[in-house]
Amino acid sequence: RCGGPAGEMGLEVEPLFQAWSYFRRRKFRECSDLCSQLLERPPGEQEQTDSEYTVFQAAWSLKTRALTEMVYVDEIDMDEEGIAEMMLDENAIAQVARPGTSLKLPGTSQGAGPSPAVRPVTQSGRPITGFVRPCTQSGRPSTMEQALKTPRTALTARPITSASGRYVRLGTASMLTNPGGPFINLSRLNLAKYAQKPKLAKALFEYIFHHENDVKNALDLAALATEHAQFKDWWWKVQVGKCYYRLGLYREAEKQFKSALKQQDMVDTILYLAKVYLRLDQPVTALNLFKQGLDRFPGEVALICGIARIHEEMNNISSAAEYYKDVLKQDNTHVEAIACIGSNHFYSDQPETALRFYRRLLQMGVYNCQLFNNLGLCCFYAQQYDMTLSSFERALFLAENEEETADVWYNLGHVAVGIGDLNLAYQCFKLTLVNNNDYAEAYNNLAVLEMRKGHIEQARALLQTASSLAPHMYEPHFNFAVLSEKVGDLQRSYTAARKSEEAFPGHVDTQQLIKQLKQHFAML
C-alpha cells in the first residue's frame, strides 16, 4: 500500500489531488475511500471558490466514477437473453424467414462447415464454437417447457435466468462493497438539477446505469440532459438508446443510435446499432451496417470481428474463418479470432495448424484449463506425443470447477481410446461422470465400451441416459437404434433412428437403417 491517508508520511499531499491520482492509476478502492473522507468534512469549509464547481462536487463526482469503474462491464458485450426474452418476445418481423437471412434457423445456410459427425454440436445443430462470449447464443428453445427442461447452461454462456436478472444482481452485489449503505440515494436526487450540469451528469448517469442498474432513473436523467444539450450531444443519444435497449424498446433504441451516428461516426455506436438489429433478427442488415462502418473506419477490428460472429451464428463457418483471418491481419493477438480459427482447423483435419494457433495463445500468456486442454488434444491428434499428457496434466491442475475437470477427463478418455487402452478409457469416462454427472458424451462413449465387452443391458441404460440428457446429439440415438436392431426390437430401433435423423439429417448410416426398418414394417 503506497498511499494511505495523506499526512501519514509527513509529506502533506493535497487529498483531492491524491484521489485523482489514485483514480488515474485505477486504484478505485483507495480513491473512493479518500473521496469519502473529503466528503465527510463539513461542507461549508471550502466554500471559498467562486468557480462553477466546488471541491465537494469534484470529490462527489470522482467517487461516483470510482464506484462505477469497479463494477463496469462493457455494455456491448453484455447481451443476455433470459427465457422470457427468448420465448415471449416477438420482435422478429418474419416468422418464416428465407434460409440464410435469419439467426433463428441454424443449419439452413449453405456454409461448408464440418458435419456433426466430425464437429460436436451444441443444441440443435449449431457447431460448437471456439470462443465463448457472454452473449454467445447457441440455438434457442422452441417452447417454454423445453427451455425449462434443458440444462441451464445449454443455450447461453451462463446459467439462464427467467428474464435477464443478472443486471439486477450485479447492482446488488456491488452495493455490499459499500459498508455505509448506498452512496447516493437515487430517489432523493433532483435529476433536473443535475441535468443542468453536464460534467456531473455524465458521471452520475454512468453510476446510475452501471452501478445501480436503475434503467428507469438513468433514462430520466439522460432525457433531461439531452434536452439540456439541445439534442446536439451524440453521447447522450447513445445513452438514451442503451436505456431503451435494456428496456426492450428496440425500435426506439434504433432511432437514437441512428441519430447519434448522423452526428458523429463512432465505432461504439455502430456496434450498438448492430446489436439492436441482431436482436430484431436481421443479420443481413447488421452485416451491411458493419460494412458501411468498415468504409469509415477501415480495418477496425471490432467491426470485422462482429461480421465474423454473425457468419458463425448463421453456421457459415468458412466465411466466418475468412473474416477472423482479416481480424488477425489487423491484430495478431486477438484471442477470439485465434481460438475460432484454431478450433476450425482442428475440426477440418488439420490439428497441426490448430496446434500452432493454440501455441500462439500460450505464447501470449493465456494460461487456463481450456487452453491446455485444447493443446493436449491438438498435440495428440497432430502426433506430438511428448507434449500431450503433460498438457492434460496441466489442464487438470488448472481446472477451476468440476465441469472443467470433467472435460479434461473426457478428452483423456479419447486419448486412451486412441492408444487402444480401453480399460484406461473406461476409467477416464467414469471419472468424467464422477465430476459431471450430466455429461452425455461420456455416457455414450461408456456405452460403446460396454457394448464391446458385450454388456448389452448396461449399454442400453447408458445410451438411454445419454439421449435423455442431450436430445440434440445424434450419436446416442443412433447407437441405441443399432443396438435394438441387433436384438430384434425394431419398434424402439425405429423411434431412436427417427430421433437420430432429426438431430443429424445427413447421416448416411441412419438413413440406411431407417430404410431397412421401413422395409421390415412394410413386408408381410
- Under rule CB under 8 A, which residues in 93-132 are in contact with other proteins? 115, 117-120, 128-132
For residue 398, state whether it binds other proteins (rule: CB under 8 A): no
With cell 461422470, the residue in question is 433
Q: Which part of the chain contacts other proteins (CB under 8 A), choosing from 234-242, 286-294, 302-310, 468-476?
A: 468-476
Answer for the pair 355, 384: CB distance below 8 angstroms, yes or no: yes
Q: What is the size of the binding site for other proteins (CB under 8 A)?
A: 74
Nearer to other proteins, 331 or 509 (CB): 509
Question: For 375, which DSSP code?
Answer: H
- Alpha-carbon torsion (414, 415, 418, 422), positive or negative: negative
Nearer to other proteins, 221 or 470 (CB): 470
Answer for the pair 315, 111: CB distance below 8 angstroms, yes or no: yes
Question: For 212, which DSSP code?
Answer: I
Q: Which part of the chain contacts other proteins (CB under 8 A), choosing from 70-78, 164-172, 280-288, 490-498?
A: 490-498
**Residue from 2, 11, 176, 524 that binds other proteins (CB under 8 A)?**
524
Nearer to other proteins, 322 or 509 (CB): 509
Q: How far is the CB of 157 from other proteins (least distance, A)?
A: 8
For residue 505, state whether it binds other proteins (rule: CB under 8 A): no
The x, y and z cell numbers of residue 216, run together, are 428507469
Helix (H) or strand (E) run with residue 436 in it: none
Interatomic CA distance for residues 375 and 387, integer angstroms: 8
- The number of helices, as runs of H, and strands, as runs of E, in the chain is 26, 0
The x, y and z cell numbers of residue 179, run together, are 459498508
Q: Which part of the chain contacts other proteins (CB under 8 A), choosing from 59-67, 241-249, 279-287, 415-423?
A: 415-423
Interatomic CA distance for residues 496 and 446, integer angstroms: 18
With cell 446429439, the residue in question is 473
State the binding string over 325-364 for other proteins (x if CB under 8 A, else -): ----------x---x--xx--x--x----x---x--x---
For residue 381, state whether it binds other proteins (rule: CB under 8 A): yes
Q: Which part of the chain contacts other proteins (CB under 8 A), choosing from 16-24, 147-155, 170-178, 404-412?
A: 404-412
Residue 515 makes CB contacts below 8 A (sequence gap 6+) with none
Q: What are phi and psi of 93, to 5 degrees?
A: -80, -50
Q: How far is the CB of 68 from other proteins (least distance, A)?
A: 25
Q: How far is the CB of 342 from other proteins (least distance, A)?
A: 7
The x, y and z cell numbers of residue 280, run together, are 430484431
Helix (H) or strand (E) run with residue 509 in it: helix 508-522
Question: Which of positions 126-185 make contact with other proteins (CB under 8 A)?
Answer: 128-132
Question: Which of positions 272-301 make contact with other proteins (CB under 8 A)?
Answer: none
Nearer to other proteins, 60 or 131 (CB): 131
Q: How far is the CB of 418 from other proteins (least distance, A)?
A: 6
With cell 481446472, the residue in question is 399
Nearer to other proteins, 119 or 430 (CB): 119
Interatomic CA distance for residues 114 and 133, integer angstroms: 22
The x, y and z cell numbers of residue 16, run together, are 483531492
State the binding string over 433-452 for other proteins (x if CB under 8 A, else -): --------x--xx--x--xx
For residue 414, state whether it binds other proteins (rule: CB under 8 A): yes
**Residue from 419, 453, 468, 505 that binds other proteins (CB under 8 A)?**
419
